[in-house]
Amino acid sequence: MKNTLNAFSLTRQLLNFNTVNPPELEHECALSLGKILEEGGFKTDYYEFAKGRTSLIAKIEGKDNKPPLCFTGHIDTVPLGAVSWKKDPFKGETEGDKLYGRGSSDMKSGVAAMVIAALRLARERDNKAGITLVITAGEETGCKGAKYMAKQGTVLGEAGAVIIGEPTSNYPLIGHKGVLWIEALIRGITAHGSMPDQGVNAINKTAIVIDKLANYKFDTNPHPVLGLPTLNIGTISGGININSVPDKVLLEIDIRTIPGQNINNTIENLKTCLGIEVEISTIQKAEGIATNPDDKWTQQVFGIMEKYLDEKIIPKGITYFTDGSVLKPAYENPPTLILGPGEPSMAHKTDEYCYISKIETITEAYTDIAFNWCK
């Protein structure tokens, strides 16, 4: 490992790997990180849920029976989008305090910072607890890498606490909402457009469905931090041509759930609300997660971050979902915080960037958090 390697330079290295998902090219990026960690004393294992879709688990043991601290992040990124970038998305170009590139905020900067912090801990020889890094592929399309590893027996090991390095602008968050993506199919009967009485117009029927969705009320109490679930109709498609009665409409519905909400009950309640003529199918689902803000370790992390942010930390959450939906329950629900240097507002955007100063800050904070846990 080169002595000049730091979180900033490592982030730039990771940005050089095109890991846009699709076409799914995480393998070389995972191997590169694995080599760095192996040189630092970590035991590494790789897990592919499909060809080239490689996740990495790196572990270093402590001297006592205290469970390790787990850092986790993903290395796949979303596509670049249709708008041309002003900066090369894969070169790690800088301008002032900004580091540009696809994945700079979401979330290669977070991965780089946790790797550097973990390497610092590995140089200490009397750590009571170890460190585990879970670097995943396929997060952006439904936590596929995390789900695969969670099903592989005991490969994840154990964790006493988890930090998810997703973009939070270095503010520690106690949880996030879950997701439930649904397709709703509304059928009609086609006929000539000049004789609409001979058919059943699926678009007309859909208008009633949309009104029901717009006024839908969730049968659950709000979470004290994350609030109420939300529902959004993301896409609508239907119709054959202008002079035919449409016989089919498909809605795609994005529901963001809260921790403790029963997703199966939500699906059944939605079916009841929309009626038996609407065919409901699930595209994706992931649970929300939340950690008690009064948890001892959580309060310790809050105290550390107050020092770096120079402000009082109050419990907050985020609406996006993460691999924590899979890993927190797989680790038997240890305290879990989302904390990373990226800007939430830059995730998935053209000319995505992260602040270099925040990468440096979170690397020091991760180091403090890890020393606090392992000593």
pLDDT given at position 22: 85
Helices (H), 16-77: 27-39
pLDDT band (50, 70, 90) for residue 171: very high
Is CATH 3.30.70.360 the classification given to domain 178-286? yes
State the span(s) of the chain assigned CATH 3.30.70.360. Answer: 178-286
Strand, helix or coil at 254?
strand
State the span(s) of the chain assigned CATH 3.40.630.10. Answer: 7-176+288-374
Q: In what order do the strands lie in the sheet with 161-164?
A: 43-48, 54-60, 131-136, 69-74, 161-164, 336-338
pLDDT at 176 > cutoff 90: yes
**DSSP conformation class of 107:** I
pLDDT at 3 > cutoff 70: no
Higher local confidence (pLDDT), 85 or 3: 85
Distances in whole angstroms, Cα of residue 259 to Cα of each of 71, 222, 254, 268, 316: 21, 10, 16, 18, 14
The whole-angstrom separation of Cα 88 and Cα 182 is 36
239-289 confidence digits (pLDDT tens): 999 999 999 999 999 999 999 999 999 999 999 999 999 999 999 999 999
Q: Mean pLDDT in the chain? A: 96
Q: Which CATH architecture has domain 7-176+288-374?
A: 3-Layer(aba) Sandwich (3.40)
pLDDT given at position 24: 64
pLDDT at 2 > cutoff 70: no
Measuring CA to CA, which residue among 70, 94, 114 is closest to residue 324? 70
291-327 confidence digits (pLDDT tens): 999 999 999 999 999 999 999 999 999 999 999 999 9
pLDDT at 85 > cutoff 70: yes
pLDDT at 345 > cutoff 50: yes
Cα dihedral angle (52, 108, 297, 117), rounded to 10 degrees?
Answer: 100
C-alpha 110 chain-centroid distance? 12
The whole-angstrom separation of Cα 275 and Cα 334 is 40
The whole-angstrom separation of Cα 284 and Cα 303 is 36
Residue 100, judged by CB atoms within 10 A of its CB (0-12, 13-18, 19+), counts as: buried
pLDDT band (50, 70, 90) for residue 4: confident
pLDDT given at position 108: 98
Buried b (16+ CB within 10 A) or exposed e, 255-267: bbbbbebebeebb
